[in-house]
Structure 1
Amino acid sequence: MRAPMLLLILAAFNLQAALPGDSIYQLNSDWQNRQGNSLNIQQLAGKKQLVAMIYTDCITACPVIVSDLKAIQAALGTEQQQGLGFVLVSLTPAKDTPKIMRHFAKKRKLDEHWTLLSGNDEQVRTLAMALNIRYMGLADGEVAHSNAITVLDEQGRVQFQQTGLPGGPEALIDKLGL
């Protein structure tokens, strides 16, 4: 029993040691996905990720961000989709429980290529700072936030960020090099 645990610890250490210093996966934080399971952010390593920070009850910018990401997914071939993940991180983790995120994913028809994450306020703030995303809660319960799509490489380094899809989804896909 001790040997498998030791191997697991060594594997985790080697993954962190192998990550570049500017990888957001260095944050080594645990999140909750829409199934209610714990997911360490390092588990996203291995393929490019399109990351957006949203909240599920937003009625302004967040639906546009999700629609843009869905347009990118729709423009990809099956093989291209295998090398790319779509990550939505909640800006309102107290409200966006796994049940709410499951409902949101079902309503928006988000398939297995999508990872929806909720953490605690400190994790959200830390990740937002690492991704250069600004946000602020407003008195009416809304959240003012950056509307960026962040592209991470396979090791969690920011490749680029952009707002919207100038040039359409194909232009972003070209920048991804898929």
Structure 2
Amino acid sequence: MGRHVYRLAAWLCGVALLATAARADEAQTPWGRDYFPNTELVDHNGRTVHFFDDLIKDKVVVVNFIFTGCGDSCPLETARLRQVQQLLGERVGREVFFYSISIDPLSDTPEVLKAYADKFKVGPGWLFLTGEFEQITQLRQALGLFIEGIDNGRNRDHNLSLIVGNQATGRWMKASPFENPWILADQLANSLQNWKQPSGGESYAQAPQIRPPSHGEELFRTRCAACHSLGPTDGQTTGMRAVGPDLLGVTTRREPAWLSRWIREPDRLLAEQDPLALEMFERYNQVRMPNLGLNEADTQALIDFLQAEQDRQLKLSSQQAGTLTLQ
């Protein structure tokens, strides 16, 4: 009995050491070479790499799966990750690495992926990769990013989750492509990269009051803000103002019927060769406005928010101008 208790105590001690270790080598974590396929891939610069040895071993990474012909979720996901890259700055490529792997490798050659990366003006530390379809499917399954019934062989139905993790410590988590970029950046920079460092000692009592957003504002922040700013100061910290036009005043600049349809079905307007849609497509580096699947009620809520924000900022500017005049 005493021998069993001793063995149990020793085992618990070993578990505690593993849980508190700053790093875990391959013998200590199940998330090592034996788990991850060492899939051969080619990056958008034409360089051959292997998934485990070259891309994730001992690194903090973001991995997602896209295809450049996607007209809905992939451009939005790429734009959102570019926001995260901008927030992390020079840490990307040095401490954190981004990998976007094509699920349509027959179409997405390295040259096509390079053009796609250039459209979104991604920085160093982010690779776009292609390879053999069957091997990429196996990699998606190993990462838990292939779901039967959703990933049914048609590109447009692929799982939208991305995975972030620290291979050395064995800490992995799924994330939504619609996640707030500041939250995802914090997970990569702190929760995964410096997970043993204590958080700051600021008091919650000092936190500002936060008003509940309207449905339209929620749609803008989760769907539109990845590519669009809303006013002269919005989006400056993430460097995203070049992806799409600033939307402040758009309800005044565009006809209501056209704006509503452009929000709901931009792909159809482009297919119909709508002159204004084509002009926007060429002006903004041929990045396609994604079809977000919004219904008429969602679209109207979004337009109402854009109008309300325009009115709010105009009022604020007027008040500030009045204050300067009085001074």
What TM-score range do you get, normalising by the shorter chain? Answer: 0.7 to 0.9
Q: Which residue of 1 aligns with 2:116?
A: 104
Provide the C-alpha distance between the structure 2 equivalents of 1:34 and 1:74, rounded to a whole number of angstroms. 20
Q: Runs in 1 of length 4+ with deviation above 3 angstroms?
A: 16-21, 23-26, 154-158
Provide the C-alpha distance between the structure 2 equivalents of 1:155 and 1:98, rounded to a whole number of angstroms. 29
Change (3 A) 1:97 1:157: farther
Q: Which residue of 2 aligns with 1:37?
A: 47
Q: Which residue of 1 aligns with 2:300?
A: none
| Identity value in percent | 25
Cα distance per residue 1:54-101 (max 9 Å; x no partner): 001111000111111111111124246621111000000111001101
Helix, strand or coil for the counterpart of 1:82?
coil
Cα distance per residue 1:5-28 (max 9 Å; x no partner): xxxxxxxxxxx9668432377312
Please report how far the alpha carbon of residue 109 of structure 1 lies from its aligned counterpart in structure 2 after TM superposition.
0.8
Please report how far the alpha carbon of residue 151 of structure 1 lies from its aligned counterpart in structure 2 after TM superposition.
0.3
The aligned runs of 1:10-49 (5 Å cut-off) are: 20-23=29-32, 26-41=36-51, 42-44=53-55, 45-49=57-61
Helix, strand or coil for the counterpart of 1:143?
helix
What amino acid is aligned across from residue 73 of structure 1 in structure 2? Q
Q: Which residue of 2 aligns with 1:150?
A: 163
Provide the C-alpha distance between the structure 2 equivalents of 1:158 and 1:79, rounded to a whole number of angstroms. 19
Please report how far the alpha carbon of residue 50 of structure 1 lies from its aligned counterpart in structure 2 after TM superposition.
0.7
Residue correspondences, number: 159
Q: Which residue of 1 aligns with 2:136?
A: 124
Provide the C-alpha distance between the structure 2 equivalents of 1:36 and 1:80, rounded to a whole number of angstroms. 20
Q: Which stretches in structure 2 are left out of the alignment for 5+ residues?
A: 1-24, 194-327
Cα distance per residue 1:23-63 (max 9 Å; x no partner): 37731221111122211112012321111100011110001
Q: TM-score scaled to structure 1, two decimals?
A: 0.78
The aligned runs of 1:126-141 (5 Å cut-off) are: 126-134=138-146, 135-138=151-154
Provide the C-alpha distance between the structure 2 equivalents of 1:95 and 1:22, rounded to a whole number of angstroms. 31
Q: Which stretches in structure 1 are left out of the alignment for 5+ residues?
A: 1-15
Answer 1 or 2: which has greater helix percent: 2
Equivalent of residue 169 in structure 1, options 159, 181, 193 = 181
Q: Which residue of 2 aligns with 1:12?
A: none
Equivalent pair of 1:34/1:115 in contact (CA under 8 Å): yes
What amino acid is aligned across from residue 54 of structure 2 in structure 1? Q
What amino acid is aligned across from residue 160 of structure 2 in structure 1? N
Provide the C-alpha distance between the structure 2 equivalents of 1:19 and 1:92, rounded to a whole number of angstroms. 35
The Cα RMSD (Å) is 2.4
What amino acid is aligned across from residue 43 of structure 1 in structure 2? D
Answer 1 or 2: which has greater strand percent: 1
Change (3 A) 1:157 1:23: farther
Larger Rg: 2
Please report how far the alpha carbon of residue 116 of structure 1 lies from its aligned counterpart in structure 2 after TM superposition.
1.1
Change (3 A) 1:114 1:80: closer
2:79 is the counterpart of 1:67: yes
Equivalent pair of 2:145/2:162 in contact (CA under 8 Å): no
Helix, strand or coil for the counterpart of 2:36?
helix
Name the stretch that deviates more: 109-118 or 156-165: 156-165
